[in-house]
Structure 1
Amino acid sequence: MLIFEHCSYLNHNPITIVIGKDASRTFQPLFHFHPGIEIIFVHNGEGSVIFEHGAYEVKPGTLLFIKPFQPHYLQMRISSGTPYVRSLLKYEKGYFTEYLKAFPDLQKFHDHLCSDSDVVQVQQVPEHERLVKFMVESNERLLLHPTHTQMEGRALLLASVLHYLYPLWRKDGAAKQPAVTKAPAVSGVMKWIEENYDKEFELDVLAQAVHLSPNHVSQLFRKVTGKTIIEWLTERRMKQACILLKTTTRSVQEIGEKSGWPNFNYFCYIFKKRMGMTPKQYRYH
């Protein structure tokens, strides 16, 4: 089930930075999305991450950039000998953008990461020990400052990390983490849903697009992702509805139609079932 993480703490703490934490005990593999941006750097641990467009390997040195309202599912194979150690930078986009106004090139780069559909979101950082040292030392200096100035310090640290990583994205994806699924058709299904979620769904049409039988593509998709095609489609539509409710003044009925639910009553029913509140309540929550 898709879970919406409200991240209400970002209202009073718009930038959260945790460097080099062992998250083995608290980590939960949830399929979820949230309004804040996340940058995750994996110090130690192995697993995979699933976005709308594919599944990718995660290992030491992997960097994830997770966009606002983007459904994602991170799975880590945690054991006593293989803990999950990560750095997490989580922040509210609008707040941080104000700090970037003094750095127009960096602001343009950040906008590219947040909005471009073809941006590389999973990177394998070369010589990642240098990035670890940089983040650890920067965080140690930040903690030496008075508490009332630390939010400004976090913004500067976050900007510095982005500036450090900027060259990765300028190599035209040279460091891109390859998709791990051994079934290219699964990525094809994800791409097809991304392009057609707002239309009436027909399994036969999807199966034809990826050159498989309806039964085969359904079984293969569930085996790789752990979810049915209908669940994946519903979650993509739900993401779109949440974005439109929060960022536009369109009517709830129009938002349902734009998200793939022309039946208004059914849209309200499925939204409340998934999100725990009506579309109107969510808009003003």
Structure 2
Amino acid sequence: MRYHHEIIESDPELPVFYIFHNERKDSGVLAHWHKSLEISYTMSGKISEFTIGGIVHETNAGDILVINSNEVHSIWDEHNQTKALSLIFPYAFIKSEIPDYDNKSFRLTNRLAYSDLQREKLAELRGLLDRYFVVMESDGAEKARLLLKGMLYQILFLLDTHFSVPKTDQNRGSSSLPLISAITEHIDENLEKDLALDQLAVAFHLSYTHLCRLFKKETGSTIHSYIVEQRLNQAVKLLMFTDKNIRYIVDACGFPNQKSFSAAFKNKYGLTPKRYRDENKA
């Protein structure tokens, strides 16, 4: 599986992570979840399989999906030239602006049941996302901070006012997710360390077998695959946004040696770390 994501972290003043996906080959994202609220907007092309909470969606240009807090989601795209935009709002920000957020979900999938007003507001939402992309790509967060902030609040207002539904027991997520979230948080905060699975099991008072089975059941991925995925994600950030050498990145991301790092990186991205940096770093 090969990926090509252009990842842009916004100005600290903006309450969102902005990610522009420009897929050039078959690509995908392993099953994962987070407490943040994520909006995915397919700008051109199509995404073959966008799975949210076990439901598979195929998106086309103009489609918008919302991933609510703790919804397990994954992506597989076998089409070339797919362009998509993701906006990820941290949970703390959403909670501060929408105090009853824990009791609702945002849904944009049942379009046949939309009212005329909802169709109008969906078109307005598309327009805001298109404009947000143009402003970010042309002016950037620093020059257009106030304009971008205004658009983000308009986006949230439209979601909350026109596309929110009460959260039911069925869409609150698995009872095991708090434990899995604690495990993934521990992994994410200790990527540079030796994350032996038997030690992880002891740390969370689980048997080795139960840890592996539970993680696979809840995420669809093995815990080993998750660790490698997160280490590679961290490596990409260091390659793109710092001048740290490869040896430093190997150690900082917890790979045992440069050979294993290069093999894992090339398997995912189709390029060596050095070539990836040379071709993608501005």
With normalisation by structure 2, the TM-score equals 0.54
Cα separation, partners in 2 of 1:228 and 1:244, compared to 1, 3 Å: same
Matched, 1:90 2:80: no
Classify the secondary structure of the residue corresponding to 1:63. strand
Cα separation, partners in 2 of 1:274 and 1:133, compared to 1, 3 Å: same
Classify the secondary structure of the residue corresponding to 1:284. helix
Cα offset, 1:213, TM superposition: 0.6
Post-superposition CA distance 1:31-62 (Å, at most 9, x none): 269xxxx73279xxxx854xxxxx79999x97
Distance (whole Å) between structure 2 residues aligned to residue 268 and residue 232 of structure 1:
17
Distance (whole Å) between structure 1 residues aligned to residue 172 and residue 27 of structure 2:
19
Aligned to 2:29: 31
Distance (whole Å) between structure 2 residues aligned to residue 142 and residue 224 of structure 1:
31
Cα separation, partners in 2 of 1:250 and 1:137, compared to 1, 3 Å: closer
Cα offset, 1:183, TM superposition: 2.0
Aligned to 1:79: none
- In the alignment, structure 2 segments of 5+ residues that lack a partner are 8-17, 21-25, 32-37, 43-49, 58-63, 77-82, 96-100, 109-113, 139-143, 161-165
Distance (whole Å) between structure 2 residues aligned to residue 196 and residue 142 of structure 1:
35
Matched, 1:136 2:130: no
Cα offset, 1:176, TM superposition: 8.5
Matched, 1:254 2:248: yes
Cα offset, 1:269, TM superposition: 2.4
Distance (whole Å) between structure 1 residues aligned to residue 191 and residue 208 of structure 2:
18
Distance (whole Å) between structure 2 residues aligned to residue 65 and residue 266 of structure 1:
35
Distance (whole Å) between structure 1 residues aligned to residue 203 and residue 158 of structure 2:
33
Distance (whole Å) between structure 2 residues aligned to residue 179 and residue 196 of structure 1:
28
Distance (whole Å) between structure 2 residues aligned to residue 138 and residue 272 of structure 1:
37
Aligned to 1:162: 152
Classify the secondary structure of the residue corresponding to 1:249. coil
Matched, 1:215 2:204: no
Cα offset, 1:274, TM superposition: 2.5
Cα offset, 1:253, TM superposition: 0.8
- Please point out which of 180, 193, 197 is paired with 1:199: 193
Conservation of the 8 A alpha-carbon contact between 1:15 and 1:151: no
Cα separation, partners in 2 of 1:262 and 1:163, compared to 1, 3 Å: same
- Please point out which of 225, 233, 240 is paired with 1:231: 225
Aligned to 1:146: none
Cα separation, partners in 2 of 1:133 and 1:270, compared to 1, 3 Å: same
Distance (whole Å) between structure 2 residues aligned to residue 190 and residue 72 of structure 1:
15
Distance (whole Å) between structure 2 residues aligned to residue 125 and residue 240 of structure 1:
30
Which one is further off, 178-187 or 154-163? 154-163
Aligned to 2:181: 187
- In the alignment, structure 1 segments of 5+ residues that lack a partner are 9-13, 17-27, 50-54, 76-87, 92-109, 144-149
Cα separation, partners in 2 of 1:196 and 1:137, compared to 1, 3 Å: closer
Sequence identity (%): 27
Cα separation, partners in 2 of 1:131 and 1:254, compared to 1, 3 Å: farther
Aligned to 2:111: none
Letter in 2 for 1:245: L
Cα offset, 1:135, TM superposition: 3.4
Post-superposition CA distance 1:80-117 (Å, at most 9, x none): xxxxxxxx9627xxxxxxxxxxxxxxxxxx9xx56x68
Cα separation, partners in 2 of 1:65 and 1:238, compared to 1, 3 Å: farther
Distance (whole Å) between structure 1 residues aligned to residue 262 and residue 183 of structure 2:
26
Classify the secondary structure of the residue corresponding to 1:90. strand
Cα offset, 1:203, TM superposition: 1.3
Cα separation, partners in 2 of 1:151 and 1:203, compared to 1, 3 Å: closer
Classify the secondary structure of the residue corresponding to 1:4. coil
